[in-house]
Structure 1
Amino acid sequence: MYRVGMVPSSQVVPSSEAVPVFVRLAAHPVRWRLLGELAAGDHRVRELTERLGQPQNLVSYHLRLLRDGGLVTTRRSSFDARDSYYHLDLDQCAGALSTTASSLHPALRPSTPAVPSGARVLFACTGNSARSPMAEALLRHRTDGRLDVTSAGSHPKPELHPTAILVLRKEFGLDLAGMRPRHLDSVAGRRFDYVITLCDKVREVCPEFDDATVRSHWSIPDPATASGSDDYEAFARIAVEIDTRVRHLLPVLAANHSGGHRD
């Protein structure tokens, strides 16, 4: 006989073997904090150790579990090859979360985020000839021009890389022909809500901005220095990675900027 307070046999909580991988990985307090830190940008082990206040061997252990679970990836620093940057694969997380939520109840499937407006975003890399102008164009495109998006470099090249222009035109239908590299000095004094560095070298020299500016780092290699691959292929691969990160930036911007600039 079924009584109030009893759980019907058809609704019994599944065994631990049926718990989704994402839940098992994210449930640990240290791993959850690591996911949170990496959600804001790429970091080195020593930075994560400082932020969590935990021993490096413990942090490295949990990072390895997250990497083995496919949620985190690593990439050697282009500034100092002895360092590695850890990156949260948000596409993998989104897929895992969607699967987890849908398995619990169809009503928990994620909804499409609103398009942000009003934020001021600066993308920076060394030469401002490929990565940062691609990010600028892609974010402007995905927000229908609603944001104040700029890019600059610490050592700007004379002009944009021709393959970057070609890739964005062929793969995304975007025209970069009218853009010109600019120096970071040219945006000094301007206020930005977000400053995102796209290469490890410029992260070390990027100037400080307003105290309210959110700083984030995307550790992305320079496609112009890629070896052993076709030039177009290398640029296309980097463009897709930047576009993926831009897409995942949109919900953050939408949550914090519903329109208009901050005072």
Structure 2
Amino acid sequence: MGRIDRTPVPLLMRMAAHPLRWALMTELASSDRRVRELVAAVDEPQNLVSYHLRLLRSAGLVTARRSSFDGRDSYYHLDLARCATAFGDAATALHPALAPMKRRWSANSSVLFLCTGNSARSPIAEALLRHRAGGDGVVIDVASAGSHPAPRLHPNTVRVLREDYGIDLEPRRPRPLDAVADRRFDLVITLCDKIREVPRDHGSAVTTHWSLPDPSAAGGDDGASYPAFRRLAIELDTRIGFIPPQTTTTRGVS
């Protein structure tokens, strides 16, 4: 009997097959986390968690970013786009009929994006989600607000949405949290580390955190900081594409 040629197991599958690495990936799939939060979630020693995080980072599945609130800390992020591609490739290789299908947004969904100034991160996220859902012919309730609203939207917020996505923002000022205090949301996403540290009751909403830097902190004039706004918009658009469908359709989950 001849020898069977075996196709190498895809790297993602080797990474995900380990129970602890799978647990870490599961945690990071729902929200960016710090090491101590991951340690508490998986109930394993910090040195073991750090070891497996290093393996996931070396595989390109997880990245780390210094906290914009406390520079001594870091947030870990699961690259969902890379995971989706790798899982899709592995599934298709196993059987062509397993190729992933495009998901659609569900109507009657409500999402709130929060950051500090509501001048860059959260209004860009709000506009991109509304644009994506509208492309599917679905109208969803999207809002954004800031804990310390800036006097105006950053000019690069308006520019990047118009030039890169064809979105023209309606004239408006950044909103305070009070402006959305009486509204109920299915999903609340914090976009800066500072606002995440402020305890806040979001009722039955699912909450998640995306640790993103403030693009206006890049310094210099508006032209110098514009590349940071473009990078932010690209990352937000990617993350928004992987918001789990169930979190935009189901209330009562926390």
Q: TM-score, normalised by structure 2?
A: 0.91
1:226 alignment partner in structure 2: 218
Q: How does 1:120-199 map to 2 (within 5 A)?
A: 120-144=110-134, 146-199=139-192
> Which of the numbers 30, 52, 59 marks the counterpart of 1:40?
30
- Counterpart of 2:51 in structure 1 is 61
Pairing 1:74–2:64 present: yes
1:128-187 CA-to-partner distances (Å, cap 9, x unmatched) read 000000000000111116111010000000110011101100000001242321111222
Shift of 1:206: 5.2
List per-residue Cα deviations over 1:42-87 (Å, max 9, x = no partner): 0000000011111111111111100000000000000000100000
- Give the counterpart letter for 1:234 in structure 2: A
**1:152 match: secondary structure:** strand
Larger mean CA deviation between 173-182 and 228-237 belongs to: 228-237
The code of the aligned residue for 2:133 comes to: T
C-alpha distance in 1 between matches for 2:211 and 2:156 = 20
Partner of 1:119: 109
Partner in structure 1 of residue 241 of structure 2: 247
* Corresponding letter in the other structure for 2:207: R
Residue of structure 2 equivalent to 1:4: none
Q: Secondary structure at the match of 1:231?
A: helix
C-alpha distance in structure 2 between counterparts of 1:248 and 1:50, whole Å: 25
CA contact (8 A) 2:187 2:248 kept: no
The code of the aligned residue for 2:175 comes to: R
Task: State the 1:205 CA deviation.
Answer: 1.5
What is aligned with 1:26?
16
Which of the pair has more CA radius of gyration? 1
Tell me if the contact between 2:205 and 2:251 (Cα under 8 Å) persists in the aligned partners. no
Amino acid across the alignment from 2:232:
I
8 Å Cα contact 2:129/2:142 also seen in 1: yes
- Paired residue type of 2:74: S
**1:165–1:177 contact (8 Å) kept in structure 2:** no
Q: Structure 1 regions of 5+ residues with no counterpart? A: 1-7
Matched, 1:106 2:100: no
Contact in 1 for aligned 2:112/2:143 (Cα 8 Å)? yes
Sequence identity (%): 56
In structure 2, do the counterparts of structure 1 residues 56 and 13 end up closer, same or farther at CA, with 3 Å as the change threshold? farther
Kindly indicate whether the alpha-carbon contact (under 8 Å) linking 1:195 and 1:215 is maintained by their aligned counterparts in 2.
yes
Is the 1:130–1:160 Cα contact (8 Å) retained in structure 2? Answer: yes
Larger CA deviation: 98-107 vs 126-135: 98-107
| C-alpha distance in 2 between matches for 1:164 and 1:191 | 26
Q: Is the 8 A contact 1:123 1:136 kept in 2?
A: yes
Q: Is the 8 A contact 2:186 2:247 kept in 1?
A: no
Query: Aligned with 1:230: secondary structure?
Result: helix
- Unmatched 5+ residue regions in structure 2? none
| Partner amino acid, structure 1, of 2:197 | E
Quote the residue 1:208 is aligned against: 201
Query: 1:14 — aligned with what?
Result: 6
Distance 1:81 1:52 in 2: 24
**2:76 counterpart of 1:86:** yes
The CA distance in 1 between the partners of 2:38 and 2:97, in whole Å, is 35
Question: How large is the RMSD of aligned CA atoms in angstroms?
Answer: 2.0
User: Post-superposition shift, 1:13?
Assistant: 7.7
Q: Which residue of 2 aligns with 1:5?
A: none
Amino acid across the alignment from 2:210:
W
Relative to structure 1, the CA distance from residue 29 to residue 147 in structure 2 (aligned partners, 3 Å threshold; closer, same or farther) is: same
